[in-house]
Amino acid sequence: MDPILKLLIYLYLCAGVQCVHQMPWLPCQFTDEHVFVNNEGHTETQHIHREAMLQFGQKGDAPVNPHAITFLVTGSKLDLRRYVEGVEAEQLECELRRYSTEGIHVRWPVKGAQEYNRWFSCTLKHTKGLFTVTGFLRHPSDQPPSGQQDYRSWPAIGDREILTTTVVMVIKTQSPSVKAGLGSQLKLPCQFAVDHQRPDVTVEWHWQRRGERIALFSHASRSGKTEGTGVGLKSLAGGDASYTLPFVKMSSEGTYICSVSVTPLFASLDISLQIEEAPRVSLNIGPALSLQEGAEQKVICEAESYYPLDVGIVWYEQDPAVSGQRVGAPLPKELQNVLLSSHKHNQDKTYSLSAFFYLKASLRNSGRQFTCSVSHQSLRVPIKKSFILTVEEPGSWMFTLTVGFIVVTLLGILYVMLPYLHSARKHSVQKKPY
């Protein structure tokens, strides 16, 4: 085959699968455990942070870093890298831990599996919190359990030891932290996969807040028993355990826990839901305000129905003629005589707050623009509402009223006199002899 054609085919295949081998290894922190009984007879756990490498390859491959513990992940039906596609290694935080089966011993049901296994968990987190992936690594062993809880007798792992493993189960959430507005429909993502067909899997969702914990959904594949709603069973069969909230309420806020169990493994992911409702901002006057010099007007900026509590309201004063200048424009002046009302707690658990001041009309402020700026964590940019003040002299008002009064009076006299003038003219015409 033409070498150029081979290269094109290779590039095409790489584009289609995003080159699975583009991430051959990841530096990780291995959090080891030393469990012991203290002088008072209580069990304590000492966490030891050790350097490790998560290396993808084949059994017998040389370690990338011979000075670290190597977790060599060999081929299986599951590939952890598929769950972090499109992400650079620098954007991932990797942590490895021992996993305790709490004394439960089950032969893992895959072809060629040995009787005994040592288990490890590998958690990959995006540095910006975009996702969390947890995979379980199976390390075959010919050593039977010690007959006690495994964490009481962890086998020692050398500083340069190579542990050949396979990925047997993966659970992932795309959004560990979610923000939503009231009344919206929300889908909390949770996907999982197991390395063998028809696994005996149990999926559960719980809601937790301030010590309260409520079961939302559960499904056991062996019995087919389902309790609760929110997860589609067809989607669940394909590994999608995402939970749907049809209508977000204030009481929906809290931590949602997606858990997947395949004996002897149990994995759970927390998804934090925070309610964010943007404020509605309004002024008690229109975009233009006309006052006579010396008059006083109470100006109110109202921020309504927002959540959570903290909100910022600031009044500014500025010359609108220079507000559009990009260079050299003076900064708006913050008003200091602004008062805040107390927070109002609405029936739907949202809040309202107003900021007001008393504006005394002065000719030097005529034409000035007054702006209320409201900031809140639900807003990318503050909401601004403005009005322009026009101030008129008292003399001009008096002159206008006087002229208007004279014009109205003259029109009234003319209206009254017109019938008399018309009658007199008609009478004079009738008296003429010709």
pLDDT, tens digit, for every residue of 188-224?
A: 999 999 999 889 999 999 999 999 999 999 999 999 9
User: Helix or strand or coil: residue 35?
Assistant: strand
Contact call for residues 325 and 260 (beta carbons, < 8 A): no
Please report the pLDDT score of residue 6 as a whole number.
Answer: 39
Contact call for residues 330 and 322 (beta carbons, < 8 A): yes
Percent of the chain with pLDDT over 90: 67
pLDDT, tens digit, for every residue of 303-317?
A: 999 999 999 999 999
Q: What's the pTM?
A: 0.78
pLDDT band at 17 (very low <50, low <70, confident <90, very high): very low
| 339-359 mean pLDDT | 95
pLDDT, tens digit, for every residue of 269-279?
A: 999 999 999 99
Contact call for residues 126 and 91 (beta carbons, < 8 A): yes
- Mean per-residue pLDDT of the chain: 87
Please report the pLDDT score of residue 24 as a whole number.
Answer: 92
Please report the pLDDT score of residue 395 as a whole number.
Answer: 60
For residue 367, report the phi and psi dihedrals to the nearest 5 degrees.
90, -5
Strand 212-220 and strand 226-228: the pairing is antiparallel
User: Helix or strand or coil: residue 322?
Assistant: helix
pLDDT of 9 higher than 60? no
Please report the pLDDT score of residue 431 as a whole number.
Answer: 53
User: Dmax over Cα atoms in the chain, in whole Å?
Assistant: 147
User: Helix or strand or coil: residue 386?
Assistant: strand
Please report the pLDDT score of residue 3 as a whole number.
Answer: 45
pLDDT, tens digit, for every residue of 139-166?
A: 998 877 766 677 778 889 999 999 999 9
Percent of the chain with pLDDT over 70: 87
Please report the pLDDT score of residue 191 as a whole number.
Answer: 96
Please report the domains of the chain, with CATH numbers, ordered by start residue.
Answer: 21-122+146-166 (no CATH), 174-275 (2.60.40.10), 280-394 (2.60.40.10)
Tokens coding 80: 């952890």
| 276-299 mean pLDDT | 95
User: For the ranges 18-32, 39-53, 218-232, 308-322, which has the lowest average pLDDT?
Assistant: 18-32
Contact call for residues 229 and 237 (beta carbons, < 8 A): no
Please report the pLDDT score of residue 399 as a whole number.
Answer: 58
Dist CA 146 CA 118 (whole Å): 12
Dist CA 428 CA 289 (whole Å): 56
Please report the pLDDT score of residue 65 as a whole number.
Answer: 94
With b meaning 16 or more CB within 10 Å and e meaning fewer, what string describes 33-66? eeeeeeeeeeeeeeeeeeebbbbbbeeeeebbee
Please report the pLDDT score of residue 78 as a whole number.
Answer: 93
- How many angstroms separate the Cα of 240 from the Cα of each of 48, 234, 243, 318, 375? 35, 9, 9, 55, 38
Please report the pLDDT score of residue 20 as a whole number.
Answer: 39
CA trace torsion 178, 180, 184, 187 (10° rounding): 0
Dist CA 54 CA 50 (whole Å): 13
pLDDT of 73 higher than 60? yes
Please report the pLDDT score of residue 12 as a whole number.
Answer: 37
Contact call for residues 206 and 190 (beta carbons, < 8 A): no
